[in-house]
Amino acid sequence: MAKKKLHNDPTEYVSEMLEGFAAANPSHVRRVDETDIVVRADAPVKGKVGVVTGGGSGHEPMHAGYVGKGMLDGAAAGAVFTSPSATDMQELIEVCDGGAGVLAVVKNYEGDIMNFQTASDLAADTEYEQVIVDDDISVSEAEDRTGRRGVAGTVFVHKIAGAKAAQGASLSEVAATAEKAIDNIASMGVALSSCITPEKGEPTVDLSADEIELGIGIHGEPGVERTEHQSADDITERITTDVVKDLDLAMGDEVVAMVNGLGATTQSELYIVARELNRILDGKSIAVHDIWVGEYCTSLDMAGCSISLLRLDDELRELLNYPVETPAVTIAEP
């Protein structure tokens, strides 16, 4: 059954969405003319490392929602579930270069990596580094992360790298701290229903009324297990156990958690998951510094959620709490 959506010509989906986004957030962002690039209203920030990202659309508020003071300097949006072009990424890098270089936060997808690599070659006058986020534990063991995708945990990397840059760190320092964050993040998701892309108008994945898929990717990539639907507590326990194991978390560790809605799941359900997650971590004597609950990295209108954990140390905790003002995340000065 085709699902009704609020859109016009599906081929204009990304462009119209970005036009509305820019109109709603003029104090935070501006759209670079005739592109699908969104940058800070005051970009480039002179003397500050620029932190940028990019990727396919369909994961809103990722990526443009994280553009603003204390987080990203800019983001390039591709078509739905499609990498932005290398020339857009090049323009992104150049527009966000305030003279201290640019760090790109890249999710571990072949197209994104290839196009950012080409873009950085084209933007030859900009000092450039990149980090690759591979937080999805579903598809391989902790020892071999080759096939691991970048998912919702990437938002923590945006937050940490953005704060480090805002504090005046150098390009290599921002990159090193981002790498440290990546090494301490793990995520896993569950789908209760498929997403439906605007152009196709039909489910991407065939899930029956009683089935769920654990470990599904944010574009509907196959997960680790398809199973009968379970209670929120059982699902939360399964995912949390795997994530805790992957990070080798132990009594006395401290984490920030994220319960991320994949698009069509209500906030109330996410809080029911957060409740059980908090209980499980508490039972293991793992300190929960904070729980982010909401839509951070969606898969269009997929129902389901993902859980991400980031193990904190003093530096990461301070950067996580650092004030930020973006359309999707605001943390006021204490």
Site residues (vs its own copies, CB under 8 A): 1-8, 13-14, 16-21, 23-24, 57-58, 60-61, 65, 192-193, 209-210, 212, 229, 231-233, 235, 259, 263-276, 278, 288, 290-293, 295, 298, 300-301, 303-305, 323, 325, 330-333
Pairwise CA distance, residues 312 & 185, whole Å: 10
Task: Tell the smallest beta-carbon distance from residue 80 to its own copies (Å).
Answer: 9
- Told to judge if 7 belongs to the known catalytic residues of this protein, a careful annotator would answer no
Q: At 316, is the secondary structure helix, strand, or coil?
A: helix
Nearest residue (CB) to its own copies, 100 versus 152: 152
Closest CA to 51 of 132, 128, 133: 128
Close Cβ partners of 149 (under 8 Å, ≥ 6 residues apart): 107, 108, 109, 134, 136, 138, 139, 217, 218, 221
In angstroms, what is the minimal distance from the CB of 209 to its own copies? Answer: 5
Give min distance, CB of 313 to its own copies, in A: 21
Tokens 């957060």 map to which residue? Answer: 274
Nearest approach in angstroms of CB 61 to its own copies is 6
Q: In the complex, what is the shortest distance from the CB of residue 207 to its own copies, in angstroms, rounded to a whole number?
A: 9
The owner of tokens 């005739």 is 34
Q: Which is nearer to its own copies, 4 or 46 (CB)?
A: 4
Bridge partners, 55 (sequence order):
77
Give residue 147's Cα distance to chain centre. Answer: 17
Task: Note if 63 is an active site residue.
Answer: no
Q: How far is the CB of 37 from its own copies (least distance, A)?
A: 16
CA separation for the pair 297, 61 (Å, rounded): 6
Residue with smaller CB distance to its own copies, 68 or 101: 68
Nearer to its own copies, 18 or 175 (CB): 18
Beta carbon nearer to its own copies, 179 or 290: 290
Q: Of the residues 28, 59, 63, 158, which is catalytic? A: 59
Q: What is the 3-state secondary structure (H, E, C) of 39-107?
A: EECCCCCCCCCEEEEEEEECCCCCCHHHECECCECEEEEEEECCCCCHHHHHHHHHHCCCCCCEEEEEE
Q: Which helix (H) or strand (E) holds 190?
A: strand 185-193
Q: Of 28, 63, 158, 219, which is the active-site residue?
A: 219
Torsion of CA 290, 295, 297, 299, to 10 degrees: 150
Phi, psi of 179, deg, nearest 5: -60, -40
Question: Residue 123 carries which DSSP code?
Answer: S
Q: Which two tokens stand for residue 296?
A: 């951070």
Nearer to its own copies (CB atom), residue 36 or residue 97? 36
The residues annotated with a catalytic role in the active site are 59, 219
